[in-house]
Structure 1
Amino acid sequence: MLDIAEELVRWVGQGRDFAVATVVAVSGSAPRRPGAALAVDGDGTAVGSVSGGCVEGAVYDLCRQALQDGEPVLERFGYSDQDAFAVGLTCGGVIDVLVVPVRAADPARPVLAAALAAAAAGQAVALARIVSGPPALRGRSLLVRPDGGYDGGYDGGFGAGDGLDRTAAAEARALLETGRTGSVRLSEDGSHCPGGLTLFVESAVEPPRMIVFGAIDFAAALVRTGKFLGHRVTVCDARPVFATRDRFPDADEIVVDWPHRYLESTRVDARTVLCVLTHDAKFDVPLLTRALRLPVAYVGAMGSRRTHLDRVARLRANGVTDRELARLRSPIGLDLGARTPEETALSIAAEIVAVRRGGSGAALTGAHTPIHHDPPTPARTGSVV
Structure 2
Amino acid sequence: MLNIADTLHLWCRTARPFALATVVDVTGSAPLPVGTSVAVDADGNAVGSISGGCVEGAVYELCRQMLRDREAPRRTWFGYSDDDAFAVGLTCGGELDVLVQRIDPAVDPHLADALAAALADVVEGRPVAVAQVVAGPGELVGSTLSVLAGGSVTYGSLDGGPTEDLVAEEARSLLRAGRTARVTVGGNGDGCPEPLTVLVHVHASRPRMLIFGAVDFAAALSQAGRFLGYRVTVCDARPVFATPARLPHADEVVVDWPHRYLSQTAVDSRTAVCVLTHDTKFDIPLLRLALGLPVGYVGAMGSRRTHDERLRLLSEADVPEEHLAGLHSPIGLDLGARTPEETAVSITAEIIAHTNRGTGLPLSRATGPIHRLAETAIS
TM-score bracket, normalised by the shorter chain, equals: 0.7 to 0.9
Q: Secondary structure at the match of 2:334?
A: coil
- Determine if the alignment matches structure 1 residue 111 to structure 2 residue 114: yes
Give the distance between the partners of 1:99 and 1:235, measured in 2 at CA. 44
Q: Does 367-376 or 250-259 show the bigger shift? A: 367-376
Change (3 A) 1:198 1:321: closer
Percent identity between the aligned chains? Answer: 57
Partner in structure 2 of residue 73 of structure 1? 74
- 1:163 Cα deviation after fit: 4.0
Q: Secondary structure at the match of 2:26?
A: strand
How big is each residue's C-alpha offset from its partner over 1:171-220, in whole Å with a ceiling of 9 and x where there is no partner? 33333333342132546x9844442x433222222221110111122212
Question: What amino acid does structure 2 have at the position aligned with 1:39?
Answer: A
Partner in structure 2 of residue 57 of structure 1? 57
Q: Secondary structure at the match of 1:362?
A: coil
Change (3 A) 1:244 1:6: farther
Q: Is the 8 A contact 1:29 1:372 kept in 2?
A: yes
Question: What amino acid does structure 2 have at the position aligned with 1:306?
Answer: R
Q: Is the 8 A contact 2:212 2:234 kept in 1?
A: yes
Once the two structures are superposed, the pairs formed by residues 91-240 of structure 1 within 5 Å of their partners are: 91-103=92-104, 105=106, 106-107=108-109, 108-146=111-149, 148-153=151-156, 157-158=157-158, 160-180=159-179, 181-186=181-186, 191-195=191-195, 197-240=196-239
Give the distance between the partners of 1:211 and 1:240, measured in 2 at CA. 17
Superposed CA RMSD in Å reads 2.8
Give the distance between the partners of 1:42 and 1:221, measured in 2 at CA. 46
How big is each residue's C-alpha offset from its partner over 1:107-161, in whole Å with a ceiling of 9 and x where there is no partner? 12221111112233343322122223444443222122355532234xxx42x35
Change (3 A) 1:311 1:47: farther
Q: TM-score normalised to the size of structure 1?
A: 0.86
Q: TM-score normalised to the size of structure 2?
A: 0.87
- 1:352 Cα deviation after fit: 0.4
Give the distance between the partners of 2:320 and 2:197, measured in 1 at CA. 46
Give the distance between the partners of 2:40 and 2:245, measured in 1 at CA. 40
Q: Is the 8 A contact 1:259 1:287 kept in 2?
A: yes
Q: Is the 8 A contact 2:126 2:149 kept in 1?
A: no
- Determine if the alignment matches structure 1 residue 252 to structure 2 residue 244: no
Give the distance between the partners of 2:95 and 2:178, measured in 1 at CA. 24
- 1:40 Cα deviation after fit: 3.6
Q: Does 140-149 or 285-294 show the bigger shift? A: 140-149
Q: Does 174-183 or 258-267 show the bigger shift? A: 174-183
Q: Does 257-266 or 219-228 show the bigger shift? A: 219-228
Q: Is the 8 A contact 1:165 1:190 kept in 2?
A: no
Question: What amino acid does structure 2 have at the position aligned with 1:3?
Answer: N
Question: What amino acid does structure 1 have at the position aligned with 2:146?
Answer: L
Q: Is the 8 A contact 1:243 1:254 kept in 2?
A: yes
Q: Is the 8 A contact 2:259 2:285 kept in 1?
A: yes
Give the distance between the partners of 2:173 and 2:9, measured in 1 at CA. 26
Change (3 A) 1:11 1:31: same
- 1:274 Cα deviation after fit: 0.4
Q: Secondary structure at the match of 2:91?
A: coil
- Determine if the alignment matches structure 1 residue 334 to structure 2 residue 333: yes
Question: What amino acid does structure 2 have at the position aligned with 1:339?
Answer: R
Unaligned runs of 5+ in 2: none
Give the distance between the partners of 1:48 and 1:279, measured in 2 at CA. 45
Q: Is the 8 A contact 1:168 1:190 kept in 2?
A: no
Q: Does 270-279 or 68-77 show the bigger shift? A: 68-77
- 1:289 Cα deviation after fit: 1.4
